[in-house]
Amino acid sequence: MSVEAFDAVDVIAAKRDGRTLSREQIEWVIDAYTRGVVADEQMAALAMAIFINDMEPREIADWTQAMIASGERMDFSALSRPTSDKHSTGGVGDKITLPLAPLVAVFDVAVPQLSGRGLGHTGGTLDKLESIPGWQAGLSNEAILDQLEDLGAVICAAGSGLAPADKKLYALRDTTSTVDCIPLIASSIMSKKIAEGTQGLVLDVKVGSGAFMKDLPKAQKLARTMVDLGQSAGVKTSALLTDMSTPLGLTVGNALEVRESVEVLAGGGPSDVVDLTVALAEEMLRLAGKTDIDVRSALADGRAMDVWKKMIRAQNGDPEAALPVAENTEVITAPASGVLSRLDALSVGVASWRLGAGRARKEDPVQDVAGIELHAKPGDTVAEGQPLMTLHTATPERFARAIESLEGAVEIGGDLSAVSETIVLEKIT
């Protein structure tokens, strides 16, 4: 039996007491946790100590590199075009990946969008796409490369070999109230994205009630931390801080969001979804060395839609098939007349989750049809009794708890100064 280089108890105690962990301690604890030598309860204690006492930039960089080293790294250097990717920190109604990947591919930049599933009130890209009849999330590394070369875009599940330490730690953080921790968020996101092998990465860091980062200073700190991690690892990285005080677009939920994404690809869709898709595409293309390109035109003239249809078919989906529709709906109406001044993203996200669009645990199923359709956004004038939103679910017994979570979510006639006029708040490079 081999002798371990450190004792988990000593590493935990060091961080509990506010000391800086050495690179060797960090490399050992991540490797030992992946091997099962460090137990879940010990890693939970260490995560809480990090949550309370923070980490220095060097510690975060070492932690990230150790998680990358726990698994394989992908290599896209054989592709005939540059690669650029996007990662969102998660929000309500955030379907941007769906129109964004084919849009960027139009301009001969490959988009390897290895995506995840939703947990809690934030939706997952794979859950949305699986509402398309036949669509498959799982692809081999060889199939990913082939699709990127042929079509320029792929949205699929990340393989189990990428940063396996992060997969274990992510599940643990979710059950130990250590999710909202900048060192752990930054290292989790960036270990997977650096291991993925993309040359450029744009981070969509959400700010507001529906995001993990509720206020701008924390979002700025997270964005700066991740940009620095990417740059130091040789990945061209930038971040857009974007508004998540109100749901993005007019739909929240899986099939509902796919429908809205297709509207965007057809040259329509809500202006906030279009604006953010275009802003992220322009930044991804800039990192790939392509500037002064009319990105919006590729949505308007159908080129992005053409790539979308090929991308869906390549993964056994039918882009022409009708999307599933909920059998049960309930309408929420405006309690008064006036200007809608607030529509809280978190409340809407939780309501959609309770309707069946999200999951409480990783293994829970989701409903394709569940979610919320919005009929007004902050700044719109509404009349008393006018529909504000329609709730969708396959299980009508869920309506009561969903409606409960919407109490206080809507304000009419309040202060309009908080209504954001732009979706992109700041850019960090």
Active-site annotation, residues? 87, 166, 173, 188, 192
- Cα separation, 350 vs 402, in Å, equals 7
Q: Rounded to the nearest 5°, which phi and psi values hold at 343?
A: -140, 100
Q: Rounded to the nearest 5°, which phi and psi values hold at 365?
A: -80, 160
- Cα separation, 334 vs 63, in Å, equals 49
- Cα separation, 284 vs 278, in Å, equals 10
- Cα separation, 362 vs 359, in Å, equals 7
Amino acid present at 72: E
Of 112, 76, 377, 381, the closest CA to residue 251 belongs to 377
The answer to whether 373 and 390 are in contact (CB under 8 A) is yes
The answer to whether 227 and 239 are in contact (CB under 8 A) is yes
Alpha helices of 73-215 — where are they, by DSSP H?
97-105, 125-129, 141-151, 164-175, 182-196
Which residues are CB-neighbours of 311 under 8 A, at least 6 positions away? 101, 102, 105, 147, 151, 153, 154, 155
The three-state secondary structure class of 338 is strand
- Cα separation, 149 vs 108, in Å, equals 10
The three-state secondary structure class of 340 is strand
- Cα separation, 31 vs 354, in Å, equals 37
- Cα separation, 29 vs 55, in Å, equals 15
> Angle of helix 254-265 relative to helix 97-105, nearest 10 degrees?
30
Residue 73 token pair: 């790294």
The answer to whether 52 and 89 are in contact (CB under 8 A) is no
Residue 309 token pair: 């249809």
- Cα separation, 368 vs 132, in Å, equals 9
CA dist list (Å): 34 to 6, 40, 303? 15, 10, 44
